[in-house]
Structure 1
Amino acid sequence: MTDETESIRRQMVQDINAEPGSREHLESNHGQVWDTQQLQEDFSVLGFMAPLVVVARKSDGAKGSLYFQASPRFYYGFKAD
């Protein structure tokens, strides 16, 4: 099966990881940022395809997505569906 989003996602991964950001940099540009432990506390992970992860927020069950960068691993930009 062909993934029609693969080239777009690969470019997004390159863009996100081209300038490894500090947590403070990500927070100033995207608002709340989660590390892996915080993500597991606030969300259930339903699936992922870099640089996106599909989640359900534990507090209210809202489904949505987050972006993530590779190193250091931070998640940001929650968008509810």
Structure 2
Amino acid sequence: MFFQLDKKMDIYSGLDLGLRNFSAHVGFRYFFTEVLGVFTEAGIPIASYKTNSVGFDKLNNQFAFNVGASFNL
């Protein structure tokens, strides 16, 4: 293992393919129990499909930060 973390902790990364952009994210999860945990995630756009966006289309090509609940089924 690269990082020596507790079994309750998890670091992950991934790619996102949306209808209006292509992006990457990195996140961290912590489980309080075997089933319930929390996560935080940050993502950045890599490429947008519309280069001359105006109005609300610009919102699809910004830095994103997410916090939420995580369930281990």
- Per the TM superposition, whether the score is higher than 0.5 is no
Normalising by the smaller structure, the TM-score range is 0.3 to 0.5
User: What TM-score do you get using the length of structure 1 for normalisation?
Assistant: 0.32
Q: Which structure's CA Rg is the greater one?
A: 2
Higher helix share: 1
